[in-house]
A and B are shown apart, each in its own frame.
Chain A
Amino acid sequence: MAQVHLRLFGLGKGAASKAHLTQAIEPGTTVSTLWEGLRRDSGPGDKLATIDREGLLVLVNGRPIRFLAGWETQVADNDSISFMPKAFGG
């Protein structure tokens, strides 16, 4: 079965404990599907349970989803999907 690698950063202690996880996917799975799944599985106090989508930087294989199909970007076998709050400054 196809699987993807989820990478979470700065989304709370609960999320940190599963910062890198591998998940099986069905054909047609989108970034949105994956995100909602993570939120369902989140624990109390997890930032990922409360953060809104506008506050997130989401990457598929390092590419921001705004340059792909946004939240409806379909993921494929062995893709790496990163979720993190947007950060600024340098």
Chain B
Amino acid sequence: MTRPISQQRILNIDLTQRKTWVEPVPLDDLEGLLGGRGVAAKLLYERTAAGLDPLGPENIMIFGTGTLTGTNAPSSGRSSVTCKSPATGLYLKVSVGGHVGAMLRYAGWDYVVIQGAASSPVYLWVNNDQIEIRDARHLWGRGTRETDDLIKEELGDEAIHTAIIGPAGENQVLFSCIMFSRYNSASRGGVGAVMGSKNLKAIAVRGTGGLVAAKGQSYYRLAAEMRRTLAADAGSESLYNWGTAGSIPGLNEMGMLAAYNFSQVTIDNAERLSGQYLLDEGYLIGRESCFGCSTACHRYVRSQSHEWGHVRDSGPELETVLSLGAECGITDTEALLVANRLCNDLGMDTISAGHVISWAMETYERAIVSREETDGLDLRFGNVDALHSLLGRLAYRDGAFADLLSRGTRQASLEVGRDSWKWAIQAKGLEQSAVDTRAAKSYALAFAVNPRGPDHLMTETFAEFGFTQESLDVIREITGDEKYANPRLTEKRAEIVRWHEDVYAASEALGFCVFTSTAAFAVNPKNMAQLFSLGLGVPFDERQLMLAGRRAVTIERCFNVREGARRQDDLLPWRMMNEKVPAGANAGMITDKEMLDQLLDQYYALHGWDIDTAIPLLSTLEQLGLAEVCGDAALDS
């Protein structure tokens, strides 16, 4: 069955009651929030209460699709999962590629909202309009790859797409992930643990319907034009050639490569971590695309020496080779292919898994934990055997030390004590992604105010480096002068961050991969607004699109305010604020607390939030039309 893009539906599933029901998404919500990330933010705010246990049945999970997902809009196959994070106790949105989002829309669903918890393991089978809650006891304990195979075999359909947790999610490891379409990880914040707490092993989807744009010919012409522009973009070319790990040589040469738990900024043999090395040395044997994407940045690789085991699987991303590799003092390509596969199969976020291990390695090298306390592991930096062994133990919380680490770096450092929190690279309870925020001030601000913790996956401000004419144009548009395309400057950072927040949130609400709009710039506010207008058949312009993105960001902020988060929570990891860049071109640089405070003052003022508390003012919510949604969290003065 084909349906209009604008007619969206929510599939609600109560796992406790084992019942389902359907609701429409009001058109007003689509126009005000675009869909995807924005609508999910509103749903989470409205359907949960402050203080709930993230791993209790009262937490909900919103599997959301982008409003343009499933159409021929370029690289628009993203979907999201939104819930309260067990790692931070705060707002959590994770964005993910693959094909599940498009398949859900073809099945007739735009959002799947899970509430309650099953009494025993189940999986959800969404077969167009037929919804089944099926027994998954035979799948519990199995890795994500095997589970994907078994579900397809059981349902007799290879075209099914799945979202699956591994043993880490089942065991409620606080950095467990959900694997989508086998190779795509919805990571961060312990989203897999939330699914595990509901005894929900997987969602399997098959859809055979379609979507139709209100102004079909114009929509498809514009989408095709955007696709051509994107294909010609240098960013797309590099992502196709080398994947995200193509940035490794540049980061290492610039002294911005996170290594040895962020205590160093370069590493010997860095090239072995790079996408160029995977290609040149024959590890790369294929590329994987998400739905509707011609860039194909995902890698498909095979091991060669098999020194650490045979791998023929998806390849590591930039953040993976940094977190599991350089941060742990490891540059052995084969070892990292195995570590990446372990994380994906066991269902763990590679960024947090890498950083909790690199924290443990530094703690061990400082002789704060002994070999006896690590359950016999020799956790010196560079020990590949220890890395692989610990990854396996983490997923099962096997042993006291792995159990401690499974609760994340914040909790582990608090329990170990003795200043170990100073090298716990986390804020809000989330491990920082491997970006050196000391020498990139927009990144520093964006990481500090990120509602889920310090990473680049809610807002990324790549344009501040000014590496391309397009990025210089963006900075000029935001600030009036391209001279502000300089990551060392503190001026205009609030403006740069807020613009990227708006664009990032809008991109995700529509289902676009943010690489297309904040790394390459072929997808931009103007053509996104045009596509939305043509798709839904409503007048819509660039200004409305940016406001819609801002509404999502504001609701997310209000969620955290309702949970008690305030200005003092908008921080960076201690090391990033107190230890200067030790070497290289940025030696001596720091974004210390005083500098961060200046950036925060500017940012809150720009948003119309109270500077002392970071709570949005009621007048700001009224201007955004959000007073009815989250006005209870606002400051009325």
Q: Which residue of A lies closest to B583 (CB)?
A: A62
Q: Is B253 close to A, CB under 8 A?
A: yes
Whether B249 and A9, one on each chain, are in contact in the complex, defined by CB atoms closer than 8 angstroms, is: yes
Interface size class of B (residues with CB under 8 A): 35 or more
In the bound complex, CA of A73 to CA of B589 (Å): 23
Whether A85 and B238, one on each chain, are in contact in the complex, defined by CB atoms closer than 8 angstroms, is: yes
> For residues 7 through 49 of chain A, which have their beta carbon under 8 Å from a beta carbon of chain B?
7, 9-10, 13, 16
In the bound complex, CA of A59 to CA of B257 (Å): 15
Q: A10-B276, A59-B585 are in contact. Are A86 and B456 (CB under 8 A)?
A: no
Using Cβ atoms and an 8 Å threshold, which residues of chain B touch A13? 280
Whether B246 and A16, one on each chain, are in contact in the complex, defined by CB atoms closer than 8 angstroms, is: no
Q: Which residue of A lies closest to B255 (CB)?
A: A62
Using Cβ atoms and an 8 Å threshold, which residues of chain B touch A7? 253
Whether B239 and A89, one on each chain, are in contact in the complex, defined by CB atoms closer than 8 angstroms, is: yes
Query: Which of B250, B271, B275, B462 is most buried by chain A, counting CB atoms within 10 A of its CB?
Result: B250
> For residues 71 through 85 of chain A, which have their beta carbon under 8 Å from a beta carbon of chain B?
82, 84-85
Using Cβ atoms and an 8 Å threshold, which residues of chain B touch A57? 250, 467
Using Cβ atoms and an 8 Å threshold, which residues of chain B touch A63? 254, 585
Q: Which one of A10, A62, A86 contacts B584 once the chains associate, using CB atoms below 8 Å?
A: A62
Q: A9-B271, A84-B253 are in contact. Are A89 and B467 (CB under 8 A)?
A: no
Interface of A is mostly: mixed
Q: Which residue of A lies closest to B435 (CB)?
A: A90
In the bound complex, CA of A29 to CA of B467 (Å): 24
Whether B242 and A87, one on each chain, are in contact in the complex, defined by CB atoms closer than 8 angstroms, is: yes
Q: Which one of B235, B276, B435 contacts A88 once the chains associate, using CB atoms below 8 Å?
A: B235
Q: Which residue of A lies closest to B265 (CB)?
A: A62
Whether A82 and B318, one on each chain, are in contact in the complex, defined by CB atoms closer than 8 angstroms, is: no
Closest-CB distance, B223 to chain A (whole angstroms):
22
In the bound complex, CA of A82 to CA of B433 (Å): 25
Query: Which of A9, A10, A64 is most buried by chain B, counting CB atoms within 10 A of its CB?
Result: A10
Query: Which of B244, B246, B515, B520 is most buried by chain A, counting CB atoms within 10 A of its CB?
Result: B246
Using Cβ atoms and an 8 Å threshold, which residues of chain A touch B456? 90
In the bound complex, CA of A16 to CA of B249 (Å): 13
Using Cβ atoms and an 8 Å threshold, which residues of chain B touch A16? 280
Q: Is A50 close to B, CB under 8 A?
A: no
Closest-CB distance, B76 to chain A (whole angstroms):
17
Using Cβ atoms and an 8 Å threshold, which residues of chain B touch A84? 249-250, 253
Chain A: residues with Cβ within 8 Å of the partner, total of 23
C-beta contact mask, B21-39 vs A, less than 8 Å → 1, else 0?
Answer: 0000000000000000000
Q: Is B382 close to A, CB under 8 A?
A: no
C-beta contact mask, B200-235 vs A, less than 8 Å → 1, else 0?
Answer: 000000000000000000000000000000000011
Whether A62 and B254, one on each chain, are in contact in the complex, defined by CB atoms closer than 8 angstroms, is: yes
Using Cβ atoms and an 8 Å threshold, which residues of chain A touch B462? 88
In the bound complex, CA of A73 to CA of B250 (Å): 19
Whether A86 and B585, one on each chain, are in contact in the complex, defined by CB atoms closer than 8 angstroms, is: no
Whether A54 and B467, one on each chain, are in contact in the complex, defined by CB atoms closer than 8 angstroms, is: no
> For residues 559 through 600 of chain B, which have their beta carbon under 8 Å from a beta carbon of chain A?
584-586
Q: A9-B271, A55-B234, A64-B467 are in contact. Are A89 and B253 (CB under 8 A)?
A: no
Q: A10-B276, A67-B486, A84-B250 are in contact. Are A90 and B469 (CB under 8 A)?
A: no
Q: Is A66 close to B, CB under 8 A?
A: yes
Q: Which one of B238, B253, B319, B486 contacts A86 once the chains associate, using CB atoms below 8 Å?
A: B238
Whether B276 and A9, one on each chain, are in contact in the complex, defined by CB atoms closer than 8 angstroms, is: yes
Q: Is B151 close to A, CB under 8 A?
A: no
Whether B242 and A10, one on each chain, are in contact in the complex, defined by CB atoms closer than 8 angstroms, is: yes
Closest-CB distance, B309 to chain A (whole angstroms):
27
Q: A84-B250, A90-B318 are in contact. Are A66 and B466 (CB under 8 A)?
A: yes
Using Cβ atoms and an 8 Å threshold, which residues of chain B touch A87? 238, 242, 246-247, 249-250, 275
Using Cβ atoms and an 8 Å threshold, which residues of chain B touch A88? 234-235, 238-239, 246-247, 462, 515, 519-520
Closest-CB distance, A46 to chain B (whole angstroms):
13
Q: A54-B469, A59-B253, A84-B253 are in contact. Are A89 and B244 (CB under 8 A)?
A: yes
Whether B520 and A90, one on each chain, are in contact in the complex, defined by CB atoms closer than 8 angstroms, is: no
Whether A89 and B247, one on each chain, are in contact in the complex, defined by CB atoms closer than 8 angstroms, is: yes
Whether A90 and B247, one on each chain, are in contact in the complex, defined by CB atoms closer than 8 angstroms, is: yes
Using Cβ atoms and an 8 Å threshold, which residues of chain A touch B254? 59, 62-64
Q: Is B327 close to A, CB under 8 A?
A: no
Q: Is B17 close to A, CB under 8 A?
A: no
> For residues 304 through 321 of chain B, which have their beta carbon under 8 Å from a beta carbon of chain A?
317-319
Closest-CB distance, B187 to chain A (whole angstroms):
13
In the bound complex, CA of A86 to CA of B465 (Å): 12
Q: Is B297 close to A, CB under 8 A?
A: yes
Closest-CB distance, A61 to chain B (whole angstroms):
6
Whether A86 and B244, one on each chain, are in contact in the complex, defined by CB atoms closer than 8 angstroms, is: no
Pairs of residues from A and B, 4 with the lowest C-beta to C-beta distance, nearest first: A62-B585, A87-B246, A9-B249, A88-B235
Subset of 15 A-B contacts with CB under 8 Å: A9-B274, A9-B276, A16-B280, A54-B234, A59-B253, A59-B254, A62-B585, A62-B586, A67-B486, A84-B253, A86-B238, A88-B238, A88-B246, A89-B519, A90-B244
Which residues of A line the B interface, CB within 8 A?
7, 9-10, 13, 16, 54-55, 57, 59, 61-64, 66-67, 82, 84-90
Beyond the given A82-B253, A89-B246, A89-B515, could you list 16 further A-B residue pairs with CB under 8 A, ordered by the A residue number? A9-B253, A16-B280, A54-B468, A57-B250, A59-B254, A59-B585, A64-B467, A67-B486, A84-B249, A89-B238, A89-B244, A89-B247, A90-B247, A90-B318, A90-B456, A90-B460
